[in-house]
C-alpha cells in the first residue's frame, strides 16, 4: 500500500466558558522558492554553456582574429585578393567547401528542436463515473472502513478539489486486487488514449521510433510498454522504456527521457504514455496515511506525440524549451514522503 505522510497538527483548546475549539497548525516545511528559482536559472545557464561551449569560445576568437587581420588590409590588398580569387578556381572551391563544412557541422551538432505534435487524454465511459457521495456509500457498504476513516476520506476529497465527475474502475469495491484486473484497467486507459492520439495526428503506430510508458504502482511482466507494442504491432527496432515506482514525477522524467532519445536519433517520433493503476493501489484498511491515495487517484491516462522533424514545426502545438530536474532522493524526508509497504494489520500472524 502507498503511505502518504501527514504534515499537519490538530490542536484542541478549551475556552474559559467551557466550549471547545479546534485549530489546525500546518508545519511550515515549504522550500525556499527564491533559492529554487535562482538554482533553476543557474542550471539553465550551466546547461547552455555545456551545450554551446564550443561555439561560445571558438566563434568570438575567430571573429576577433578575422577583424584584426582585415583591419590591417589596405584597399590595394583587398583588390589584389579579389583578383586572386577571380582567377583561381581552386581557392574559391576550397573556401566554399570549408564554409559548407562549417555550416553542416553546426547544424549536426546543435541541439535538435523537439515539438509536441498533439496529445490525448482518456475519458472513461459514463457508467464508471462516481460522485463523492456514491464513493462514500460504496465504501461504507463494503464494511472495511470505520466511521473515522470514512469521515477522513470525506474531508480529504472535499479539500483536495476532486469534483463530482471522477471515475473509478468497475467493481473496485467488490473485487480483490489481481493482475488480470490491473491489466484490464491499464489496457482500457492506455489503448483508448493512444487510439485517439493516432487518429488526431494521422501517425501510424509503425512510424513511432521511441516509446516511453510510466506507471508507478503497476509493473507487470510483460511490461506495459510491451503490451502497447504487441497490441499495435509496432516495428521491431523501436526503443521502448517502462518506468515504474517514480511517483508523481514520472511524467516529467518520461518527457526528459524522450527528449534525450530524440536528441540522439534524428527524424523520429516519440510517444509518452502516462497512467496509474487504481486496482493495484487500492487500500482496504483504516491506516490514515494509506487512505490518502484512495482519495487522490482516479482512472485515467494520457498520451503525447513528440517529434524532432523540422517538417512538423508548423503543425506542432508546443515546442519543448527546457527541462530541469532536481532529485531529492538523498533527503530522507523526501525519500519517505511516498512509501509502498504492506498493511501491518493484514500481515499473517507468526506460525500461520
Q: What is the pLDDT of residues 5-63, one digit of tens each?
A: 544 444 444 444 444 444 444 444 555 545 554 555 555 665 656 666 666 667 778 77
Neighbours of 131 (CB within 10 A): 13
Written as tens digits, the pLDDT of the chain (352 aa) is: 555 554 444 444 444 444 444 444 444 455 554 555 455 555 566 565 666 666 666 777 877 877 877 777 777 777 776 666 665 666 667 778 888 888 777 666 678 899 999 999 999 999 999 899 999 998 898 888 899 999 999 998 888 888 888 999 887 876 677 888 899 999 999 999 999 999 999 999 999 999 999 998 899 999 999 999 999 999 999 999 999 988 888 999 999 999 999 999 989 999 999 999 888 888 888 888 888 888 888 899 999 999 999 999 999 999 998 888 888 888 888 888 888 887 765 544 444 3
> CA 145 to CA 125: how far, in whole Å?
28
Q: What are phi and psi of 152, to 5 degrees?
A: -65, -45
- Is 221 contained in some domain? yes
- Is 318 contained in some domain? yes
- Is 92 contained in some domain? no
Which residues constitute the domain of residue 186?
A: 115-341
- Is 73 contained in some domain? no
- Is 45 contained in some domain? no
- Is 46 contained in some domain? no
Tell me how many domains the chain contains: 1
Q: Please give the order of strands across the beta sheet that includes 318-319.
A: 239-243, 210-214, 269-275, 301-307, 115-121, 318-319
> CA 267 to CA 43: how far, in whole Å?
28
Q: What is the pLDDT of residues 230-266, one digit of tens each?
A: 999 999 999 999 999 888 889 999 999 999 999 999 8
Nearest Cα to Cα of residue 301 among 124, 181, 165: 124
- Is 147 contained in some domain? yes
Q: For residue 135, what is the domain's CATH number? A: 3.40.47.10
pLDDT score of 350: 43
Q: Which three cell numbers stand for residue 13?
A: 483548546
Q: Is 344 helix (H, G, I), strand (E, B) or coil?
A: helix
pLDDT score of 86: 61
Sorted by sequence, the CB contacts under 8 Å of residue 241 that are 6+ apart come out as 211, 212, 213, 225, 254, 257
- Is 5 contained in some domain? no
Amino acid at each position: 500500500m502507498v503511505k502518504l505522510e501527514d504534515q499537519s497538527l490538530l490542536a484542541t483548546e478549551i475556552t474559559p466558558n467551557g466550549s471547545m475549539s479546534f485549530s489546525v497548525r500546518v508545519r511550515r516545511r515549504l522550500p525556499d522558492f527564491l533559492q529554487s528559482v535562482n538554482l533553476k536559472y543557474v542550471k539553465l545557464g550551466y546547461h547552455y554553456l555545456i551545450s554551446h561551449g564550443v561555439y561560445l569560445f571558438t566563434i568570438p576568437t575567430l571573429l576577433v582574429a578575422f577583424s584584426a587581420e582585415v583591419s590591417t588590409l589596405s584597399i590595394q590588398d583587398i583588390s589584389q585578393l579579389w583578383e586572386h580569387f577571380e582567377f583561381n578556381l581552386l581557392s574559391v572551391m576550397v573556401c566554399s567547401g570549408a564554409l559548407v563544412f562549417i555550416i553542416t557541422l553546426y547544424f549536426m551538432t546543435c541541439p535538435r528542436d523537439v515539438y509536441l505534435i498533439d496529445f490525448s487524454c482518456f475519458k472513461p465511459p459514463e457508467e464508471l463515473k462516481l460522485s463523492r457521495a456514491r464513493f462514500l456509500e460504496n465504501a461504507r457498504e463494503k464494511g472495511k472502513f470505520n466511521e473515522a476513516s470514512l469521515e477522513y476520506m470525506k474531508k480529504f476529497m472535499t479539500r483536495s478539489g476532486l469534483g463530482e465527475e471522477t471515475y473509478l474502475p468497475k467493481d473496485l469495491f467488490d473485487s480483490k486486487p489481481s493482475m488480470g484486473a490491473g491489466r484490464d484497467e491499464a489496457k482500457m486507459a492506455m489503448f483508448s488514449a493512444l487510439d485517439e492520439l493516432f487518429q488526431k495526428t494521422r501517425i501510424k503506430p509503425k512510424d513511432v521510433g521511441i516509446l516511453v510508458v510510466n506507471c508507478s504502482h503497476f509493473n507487470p511482466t510483460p511490461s506495459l510498454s510491451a503490451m502497447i507494442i504487441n497490441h499495435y504491432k509496432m516495428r521491431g527496432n523501436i526503443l521502448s522504456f517502462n518506468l515504474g515506482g517514480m511517483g508523481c514525477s514520472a511524467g516529467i522524467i518520461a518527457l526528459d527521457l524522450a527528449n534525450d532519445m530524440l536528441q540522439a536519433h534524428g527524424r523520429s517520433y516519440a510517444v509518452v504514455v502516462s497512467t496509474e493503476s487504481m486496482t493495484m493501489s487500492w487500500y482496504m484498511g483504516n491506516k490514515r496515511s494509506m487512505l490518502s491515495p484512495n482519495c487522490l487517484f482516479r482512472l485515467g491516462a494520457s498520451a503525447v506525440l513528440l517529434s524532432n522533424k523540422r517538417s512538423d514545426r508548423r503543425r506542432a502545438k508546443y515546442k519543448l524549451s527546457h527541462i530541469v530536474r532536481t532529485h531529492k532522493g538523498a533527503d530522507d524526508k523526501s525519500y519517505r514522503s511516498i512509501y509502498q509497504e504492506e498493511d501491518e494489520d493484514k500481515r499473517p500472524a507468526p506460525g500461520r
